[in-house]
Structure 1
């Protein structure tokens, strides 16, 4: 049996192009072959989850059935004219329950994660929770079962995003784009895929395969020779190299997903927008893993803020936003995994944004005394870059490896 992980090797792209060719021809002539498109999605899901990963395919089917039951039961409840907060909270809790079990199971040293976990469960959970929340807000009036299944099982993005929104996806899926617009899609899709090859298979390979292991060995050697977690050129090199690898590998993957989506007439949103030229940490989160960042902003940060304001938990608006940042990034840290470095990573970014907001308020009050020129702009970029790279060093877990390697 052939088992091919998404965008992992040239063979995948050959199979992808052959499978998409009838869709491309149809869309060029203004027709969307939805049945064939569904067949292609199922084919690539089969290639992803067959062989030794067949159990994950079964888990995916069970997960989709479970989420369908929750979503359409809640839709029926909302459409009946009821909208109790307790029922809404129950629906959200049930929707995130499988993901929470997958994250918690390793701590209990049991096999729950093996029973319900599969590649891409996080991103499917983000989609289902988003739909439930927008049903509550009535920004989604009705969820179509076929479109919902296509939205959840859209194979270019199922494993690692980007995270699309149901209404935006449905708008593209319901009709074929006009020829001029589709030709533009093909142009950008081709560009994104070739850019993805450059990022993931060339630049990412240099940083992640050629340089990173050697820098890790050098940093471990220096740490053992000098008694633990001491700053060294090797550790600094590891920090910068890992940051570059993380960006180019993930951005390359995201470009593949977006480019493939464009070939299918679906304009999946971009995930990265030159994050390393950010002038502050908030600007960084508006450029880095944007679909995840905006999802947390809309469905965690804003919801918590409105809840706290409604129940008058914190009267001071500045303190409220600071608390919301802590909640938002702490949840993001826990989502990455229940290990100290992911949680510290989340807290670190929350504190960085809080400090940044304090600085921006101070800057507004003293705008005449504080210079603003090319030097200050590039210094802000340099400072933000280093703050972010240090957070990625925490995120990598290498500090833990370094510590225990010394011990």
Structure 2
């Protein structure tokens, strides 16, 4: 059963959430709350991981990632400053291996052992969490990984299928943080508000857009139908995914975990950089922190490019190229990534030139124009992503 896809799932949600609310209302210890999060995660896994063969595959994947993290942590603590980069890269490679296998050969999802579990459980999001742990172990930010906390973090059921992507230290901090009755009450109210927002977005607005706007355009081609489809698809994509994310964050809050928000009014962005600070925030920040920034800093350290802007622009192609392939190896996803890399570079060039040549000014009219222009560039990107042009 896919989380948050139908109303039946929400009835099952009462099983972990009612006791969580009672525990929070009584102001129980952080340890008791963490134990319930762990037990709830295991219990919901039995529901999400049906049939039994799928559950076995999830467990196998979990053990595989745990061994990589545990072995690398032991190596890092034992060797301290003498650890070799090759071991780190080997750990990253092994952690990414199941994801890469599925992305490069989607038939694995349909065959024998892998069946549909890899796509179903959201292997991308689980892999990003595991890789994030390995990177922060290398940085010296994580010196201990408890297996119970690791399981709770990696398989945390509200975010299991499609994120948001949390960070281990932040998650464990919430897990072990004592909450008063008042603090939990405030979290619970916010969580319920997000869940109701999720129902509005996913089951009302997204449903209506899909049924009465998007579906009728699937068999209509030409310039105007495609233009119409562009806006319908972009808005449907937002409300469907933002609705799911609101469910995931809201349920997390009811369990006492402040999972980061994934969307922050992305369609009022004034430029493409602002958009990526508002759209799929946990994913874009993960790629920014662990790929883009590290590439740029490493390039500066090794003097890979004579011009610092060149490092940044190459970093954008690396960042969005990987992000595109992460969605899939089909041409539309690769083009989508390259398109956004081009937008980021183009905006940076114009923004720097604007400081001397003043292509645009300031004030509410300019801000409105910036929002409209950015919105249309973003929508065209979604049209590429949809595969309709390809």
When normalised by structure 1's length, the TM-score is 0.90
Counting only pairs closer than 5 Å after superposition, residues 54-203 of structure 1 correspond to structure 2 as 54-80=52-78, 81=80, 82-106=82-106, 111=111, 114=115, 117-119=118-120, 120-203=122-205
Q: Write the distance in 2 (CA, Å) between the matches of 1:205 and 1:266.
A: 29
1:351-373 Cα offsets, whole Å, 9 max, x none, are 00000001110122235x74222
Does 1:42 find its partner at 2:42? yes
Q: Write the distance in 2 (CA, Å) between the matches of 1:329 and 1:370.
A: 27
Return the offset for 1:60.
Answer: 1.1
- Cα-Cα RMSD: 1.8
Q: Write the distance in 1 (CA, Å) between the matches of 2:108 and 2:47.
A: 32
Q: Write the distance in 1 (CA, Å) between the matches of 2:304 and 2:330.
A: 29
Does 1:261 find its partner at 2:252? yes
1:328-356 Cα offsets, whole Å, 9 max, x none, are 00000111100111000000000000000
- Equivalent residue for 2:10? 13
Return the offset for 1:107.
Answer: 7.7
Partner of 2:178, secondary structure, is: coil
- Equivalent residue for 1:405? none
User: Is the Cα contact below 8 Å between 1:123 and 1:163 reproduced in 2?
Assistant: yes
Return the offset for 1:260.
Answer: 0.1
Q: Tell me: CA distance 1:115–1:197, structure 2 relative to 1, closer, same or farther (3 Å).
A: closer
* Uncovered stretches (5+) of structure 2, i.e. residues with no partner: none
Q: Write the distance in 2 (CA, Å) between the matches of 1:107 and 1:9.
A: 27
Return the offset for 1:116.
Answer: 7.1
User: Is the Cα contact below 8 Å between 1:56 and 1:117 reproduced in 2?
Assistant: no
List 4+ stretches of structure 1 deviating above 4 A: 107-110
Partner of 1:218, secondary structure, is: coil
- 1:379 aligned residue (369, 375, 380): 369
1:274-333 Cα offsets, whole Å, 9 max, x none, are 000000000000000000000000001011112222222212101110010010000001
Q: Write the distance in 2 (CA, Å) between the matches of 1:262 and 1:327.
A: 34
- 1:206 aligned residue (205, 208, 215): 208
User: Is the Cα contact below 8 Å between 2:24 and 2:185 reproduced in 1?
Assistant: no
User: Is the Cα contact below 8 Å between 1:271 and 1:291 reproduced in 2?
Assistant: yes
Does 1:242 find its partner at 2:240? no
Q: Write the distance in 1 (CA, Å) between the matches of 2:238 and 2:62.
A: 31
Judge which range, 104-113 or 143-152, deviates more: 104-113
Aligned pairs, number: 383
User: Is the Cα contact below 8 Å between 1:105 and 1:113 reproduced in 2?
Assistant: no
Judge which range, 103-112 or 339-348, deviates more: 103-112
- Equivalent residue for 2:220? 218
1:151-181 Cα offsets, whole Å, 9 max, x none, are 0011000110000010110011013312221
* Uncovered stretches (5+) of structure 1, i.e. residues with no partner: 224-230, 401-407
When normalised by structure 2's length, the TM-score is 0.94
Q: Write the distance in 2 (CA, Å) between the matches of 1:319 and 1:212.
A: 40
Q: Write the distance in 1 (CA, Å) between the matches of 2:351 and 2:36.
A: 53
- 1:283 aligned residue (246, 264, 274): 274
Q: Write the distance in 1 (CA, Å) between the matches of 2:324 and 2:17.
A: 37
